[in-house]
Amino acid sequence: MGRETAMYVLHYAPDNASLIVRLALMELDQPHRAVLVDRRVRAQDGAAYRRLNPNGLIPALETPEGALFETGAILLWLSERHGALAPQPGDPARGDFLKWLFFVSNTLHADARLAFYADRHAGQGADVAAFLAATQDRIAGHLALLDAMAATRPAWFSPDVPSVLTLYVSCLLRWLALYPAETLGWLDLARYPALHAVAAATERRPSARQAALIEGLGDTIFTAPSYACPPEGSAT
């Protein structure tokens, strides 16, 4: 099967990190099939899914070259395979793009998971509220760095043209605003005007509108998000 006609299988749960990959596939106009990983029955822990992603995290993407996992790796692989949504090898902007992609994947996304599941990660006997507050303080610092970068409007992180990085960050902004539920509203996107501009432009794109319908996300999915009401599966 050639690159132009490759069929991908996206193993997803609504309003999970698979949303980022779904948006990238749509932006790349790549045919794909979505298969629900039902979190209500912990399908991500089943043997069938663990064969695709041994970490039991969502998403996994089946490709003609095998299954991929880790959101950042999937996005980088897709951008290279299809020559879009990122500066390509040999482009002078490639280094700057990569350092921010890995910062988002390894630092921002990692701290977001600590915040979302603070009760799991704080440690036995720890002050969970203090752990969460410290994590959110770090996240605010990460977002300030990203906002300063975005204010320079590099071609790979701009409201004008989507990239795997703008898709990634826009989704993280959504989830940071919604989770954990006990600190709903802690993230004020107005504090990050350059990121707000990217998120606003991203949510107006046809890919975002289509994904929002598929996963039950509402209209202003990045700038004023509401909890998902998906037609199938569960976001949590």
| pLDDT of amino acid 171 | 98
Tens of pLDDT, residue by residue over 123-136, are 999 999 999 999 99
Decide: pTM greater than 0.85.
Answer: yes
pLDDT value, residue 230: 96
As a whole number of angstroms, the distance between CA 203 and CA 159 comes to 10
The pLDDT, as a whole number, for residue 1 is: 33
pLDDT digits (tens, 9 = 90+) for 26-57: 999 999 999 999 999 999 999 999 999 999 99
Count of alpha carbons within 13 angstroms of residue 191, beta-carbon side: 14
Beta strand 8-12 with 32-36 is: parallel
Query: 163: helix, coil or strand?
Result: coil
Give the per-residue pLDDT at 105. Answer: 98
Model confidence over 154-180: pLDDT tens digits? Answer: 999 999 999 999 999 999 999 999 999
